[in-house]
Amino acid sequence: MHSFLRAIGFSEITDRLELDRLINLITEEPTEKKTYNESNNKTFAEISKLFSKQMGITVRGEYDGDGKFYMEHYFPYFKSNYMSTKEEVSIIKRVDTDAYTGMCDDVRLGVSLIFYLQNVVDYLMEGKDNKQPDRLFSIYLSALSVSGKILLPMEHDEKLAKNNSADVLYRRQLIAEAKKGNQEAIDSLTIDDIDMYAMISRRAKFEDIYTIVETSFTPYGSESDNYSILGIITDMDTLTNEVTGEELYVLTISCNDVIFQVLINKKDLYGEPVVGRRFKGNIWLQGNIDFNSEKCLN
């Protein structure tokens, strides 16, 4: 049973029989079907069904030479409307299934961003032909969550906020230079990290950590595409699963200036989401890549 099914409103599915009925509904009444003809007389397929706007389940598998479908795996998804970043992307196939993960570097986060690729057929049809090292792709990030809470916003001083914005911009420039091998930038970032650690350690003795750190984005658990985040809610909406009637929150989150949407079941969110407040939770990060993005670097 997929642990993130409840994030799209299927929290009551508890046994294999109910799951099989759901999978049959998807394969017999799909909203979208994408196929890719492989060289071994088999056809790789992604069969998807929407259960509300932008939200559904995709079943992946193969059609044999006689047209019979064999399911490999399935996953719940939410497709975002927001382009989160535009970067060079490395795509890696997982060893156990026909699933792929994408990885890119975003200077706003300072770490490699790893996400579960939603549109594998698009990659097989077009992405493998786009391996130029200087090619940027638009990436639409989204996330599912089964555990989250709402925190109050931090109090902001306007002058301090401007200074912080300048510091963040300068740090991004240093990270970009460090990636090129600039030793002075690497040394400067190391000193900054030491100073930041000392400042946080000193203030944490007397203050709550969430009054010091406004947003964060850190890997969580053993899965490479799972993260623990703290981000600011910039917009919100609600969806209803058309089959189960369960209500869901769509939270647009700004985390280290990266914008993406998080889908979470109302049952799993503690607190009242309001624009300006913060969301803290564990997420499964997904991404939809536009492989038709034009070459953007010289």
pLDDT tops 70 at residue 293: no
**Are 242 and 52 in contact, with CB atoms under 8 Å apart?**
yes
Q: Write the pLDDT tens digit of every residue in 172-208.
A: 677 777 777 888 877 887 888 888 888 888 888 888 8
Q: Which of 138-142, 193-197, 218-222, 292-296 has the lowest mean pLDDT?
A: 292-296
* Long-range contacts of residues 86-95, Cβ cutoff 8 Å, at least 24 apart: 86/136, 86/137, 86/138, 86/139, 86/293, 86/296, 87/136, 87/137, 87/139, 88/133, 88/134, 88/135, 88/136, 88/137, 89/137, 89/139, 89/289, 91/117, 91/123, 91/127
The pLDDT assigned to 296 comes to: 41
Q: Which residues contact 223 (CB under 8 A, 6 or more apart)?
A: 284
Q: Which stretch, 30-44, 86-100, 188-202, 270-284, has highest mean pLDDT?
A: 270-284
The upper half-sphere exposure of residue 208, i.e. CA atoms within 13 Å in the direction of its Cβ, equals: 7
Average pLDDT over residues 43-72: 90
Mean pLDDT of the chain: 86
Q: Write the pLDDT tens digit of every residue in 4-14.
A: 999 999 999 88
The pLDDT assigned to 136 comes to: 85
Give the ranges where 29-155 is alpha helix by DSSP (H): 120-125
Q: Which residues contact 112 (CB under 8 A, 6 or more apart)?
A: 103, 104, 105
Q: Which residues contact 235 (CB under 8 A, 6 or more apart)?
A: 251, 252, 275
C-alpha to C-alpha distance for 178 and 180, rounded to whole angstroms: 5
Q: Write the pLDDT tens digit of every residue in 116-128.
A: 999 999 998 875 5
Q: Write the pLDDT tens digit of every residue in 92-102.
A: 988 878 889 99
Average pLDDT over residues 65-72: 84
125 φ, ψ to 5°? -80, -35
Higher pLDDT: 53 or 249? It is 249
